[in-house]
Every structure is written in structure tokens, then in C-alpha cells.
Chain A
């Protein structure tokens, strides 16, 4: 769980849907940070053992922040920036080969 510090300049906000839930975050922020501030602690369950994982490095190295963005699985949330209407699902285990199936 992360929270914004006090007194920073206001930013334009956008609305994401995270696991169906509406979440309002500053536009252009890295998705991983938006999710952390929305109270999401575990972003995925590993394909090997279904262990819960969340972001570790926030710089694209650890690959633990993988989520599904707009139907695309295994996206590094720290490398994607939020847009209004973005759909986010947690990555539970191995992805389907065809996510639309």
C-alpha cells in the first residue's frame, strides 16, 4: 500500500478499471504505482507455485509486477503508463495462449 505525499501539485486524473473496480489515478503515472496506491498488494500469482507477487524493482528488471492490460497478459505494470479507460486484471498463473478464447 502506497500513498501520495501531501502538498503536491494537482494532476489531471483518469479512471481505470482494476478487476472491474473503478480506480481514479493521476494521468500518465506508471501503472504499478497507480495500483500500489490503489491498495493492490499482490499483482499476480506465479505460474510455478501460485505464490503471490508484487513489484520489487519498479524499473523493469524483476518482472514481478506482471498484470493483464487491456486484454494483453504478462505486461510489466511498471513500464506501462495509465490511460483513461485502461482495463487491468491481475495475472493469475500462466497466461492463456489466446487471451480472447
Chain B
């Protein structure tokens, strides 16, 4: 049995974006993924391709995100051509609806700070109530205004993941689903990864297992101090289209359902849903869009985001075990083109993108002054 060039552990959005990009370069590649009941941040995705507000205090992350948003159209088109799946990318600009003047001012100030930090073109504008209602007539009276970034958009997380899997497999990638990694051993020139009694040998191993990275990283001389952060989501019945612009908490999908999500909870490994949280999500949504009052909720979700201590990604190559990498972030949708493109080049030994050099685990070490 021939060795693999690369083995990816984790078949969520991050893992599949990487695997797809790796397969595209011609790597002999396999991916290991857990079972149907795994936590899967990918299943809880909201689907935003989002720039505004990201990277405050970390201009490198803002730049990484800007690049991703700019790369998305070509990425979506390529997936469409290769797999026939339309991932429903739409980038008409995105809005953050604000329910008080303070909130609006605060958000505008954050974006201004980002613009100042970046020193590049960072487009956004502030819409007052009248302007917002001209754009979205269904906006409720409680909304005082919104911040808009013309680069923002959304896509279907569902279709994206399916396209990545299909594209990956059509490029010859092997997918081993329903398996759990027990051990990773170093060997000359690579790694033996044991999962459910089967050993996979690869020159490189990429850990993209989300919360699972925490346990796996030390096996290859890395560290991934990630914690779960729960988000709950409400999904409505199908509606005729009325909302073209995605907003931070409410968006309407290509099928016409409205997705609403707006929560962050530290509850450990609990992906349950609670009426306490869902009712607040629903209340905010109906304040923004009163017409949702009579619309039926068909589904709800709880999913665990993969959060590093500062919320920014970890992209790290192992020095102790060359050829091993850890990749983790909680904006896997937005960053998908970067993971499939520049990050893959880096994994192949190419240049590390300058935007990500700061995203190493060492930044979390407590400094004594």
C-alpha cells in the first residue's frame, strides 16, 4: 500500500476546504472524519461570508478576511464548474442592525478603528433609519439604523460542504467517515495515524478536527487550546424572498427559509438548545423584522464554535514533528478560499502568508513583566 502525501483529520468546513485544496494540487490524500453524532461546528454554521467588524486590534486578521471575501467569487465559480453545485454565494453587502443609538455609534466606531488600523480601503457606511427602510422596507420601528459593509455576503453552508466533499472525491481524495483517531506516531519522513484499527501512513498530517484538535495536537508536538462556545439558531418555514441582504443575525437562504442566530454561551460540550436563549433570539429577530412574528419556526440548532482564547485562528506548523500542522478557526465559511488556496501552498512547504504569521499558539503564553 502506497503512502499518502497528506492525511487530513476532520471533515468539517475547515478540513474539507483544506482537503479540497490539497487534492486540487494532485496530492495523494485521505481524510478521516467521525460519525453522524459528532459535534460538527460545520452543521451549526450560519453561512455568512463576513468582513465587517472582524480583526479589531488584529489588522492581519482583517486583511486575511478581506482577501478571503475577494477570493470567494472565483472559489464559488470553480466549485460550481467542478461539481455542478451552486453554493448560492451572494455578496450584496451585509448589515448589522442596531436597536439603539449607542449600539449604532459603537459599531460605527469599531469599523472606523479598523479602517484607521488597516490604512487601506475598508469600505463601510452607516445607514440611519430612513435609509435602512428604503433599502429593507420590512425593517421594524425599533431599529435605529445599521452599519453596512458592501463586501459582506452569504452562502449556503450545506451546499458548500457538499460541494467540497464532492469536489474532493472527484479529484481522487479518499474519505474515511465514521472513524476516530486513536494515535499518531512519527516515523521517518512522516506519520502513522491509527484510527479504529487501521493505520494510515502519510508524509504530512493536518489537524482540522475542530474541538478534537485539543487532544490531537500534543501528539504531534503542537498545542490547540480551543474551547467550545455554543451558538443557537432558529430556522423558519420557507418564505417567499423578502430579504436580499444578509444581516449579522438574520438572513434568508436560497430556499427561502430564514435563519436567525445571535448567541454565545460558555456551557462546555453541550450542544443542546434552550428556550431561555432561543426566546431572546426570537425576540430580537421580531424587533428587527416584525413580520416574522407570525412566521412558523420549523427547526432550531445548537452548535459548538471552536474558540481559541482570543477568538483568532491558530495556523501552526510543528517544529518538533515537521510535516504536522494544526488549523483551527471559527470563521471557516468566510475563510474557505484561503484554506483551500494560500494555506495549502504553505502546507506544501511554500511561503507562509504574511497575514497569518501571528496566529501561533505561543501568543497565549502568559508573559510575566
Residues on A lying within 8 angstroms of B by beta carbon are 47, 72, 74, 93-99, 101
On whether the beta carbons of A47 and B295 are closer than 8 Å, the reply is no
Stretch in contact with the other chain, from B46-54, B235-243, B360-368: B235-243
Contact yes or no, B240 A97, CB < 8 A: yes
How far apart are A86's CB and chain B's nearest CB, in angstroms?
18
Cross-interface CB contact of A94 among B239, B289, B291, B292, cutoff 8 Å: B239
Return chain A residues, CB-CB under 8 Å to B225.
Answer: none
Inter-chain contact count A-B, CB under 8 Å? 34
Instruction: From known contacts A47-B256, A74-B237, infer whether A97 and B291 are also in contact, taking CB-CB under 8 Å.
Output: yes
Q: Which of A93, A94, A98, A99 has the most CB of B within 10 A?
A: A98
CB pair A96–B294 under 8 Å, yes or no, is: no
B contact residues around A96 at 8 Å (CB): 239-240, 242
Give A66 to B296 CA distance when docked, in angstroms: 13
Q: How far does the Cβ of B172 sit from chain A's closest Cβ, in whole Å?
A: 33
**B277 within 8 Å of A by Cβ?**
no
**A26 CA / B237 CA spacing, docked (Å):** 32
| A94 in contact with B242 given A47-B256, A72-B294, A99-B294 (CB within 8 Å) | no
Contacts of A98 in B (CB 8 A): 138, 242, 291, 294
19 more CB-based (< 8 A) A-B contacts, given A47-B256, A97-B242, A97-B295: A47-B238, A72-B294, A74-B237, A94-B239, A94-B256, A95-B237, A95-B238, A95-B239, A95-B295, A96-B239, A96-B240, A97-B239, A97-B258, A97-B291, A97-B292, A98-B138, A98-B242, A99-B294, A101-B291
Give the interface residue-count category, chain B.
10 to 19
> What residues make up the interface of B, taking CB atoms closer than 8 Å to A?
138, 237-240, 242, 256, 258, 289, 291-292, 294-296
**Contacting residues, chain A, for B242 (C-beta < 8 A):** 96-98
Contact B240 A94 (CB under 8 A): yes
Closest CB pairs A-B (n = 9)? A98-B291, A94-B238, A47-B238, A97-B239, A97-B242, A97-B291, A94-B256, A96-B240, A94-B240
What chain B residues lie within 8 Å of A99 (beta carbons)? 294
* Residues on the B chain within 8 Å of A72, using CB: 294
CA distance A72 to B237 in the complex (A): 13
Instruction: Determine how close the nearest CB of chain A comes to the CB of B288; give it in whole angstroms.
Output: 13
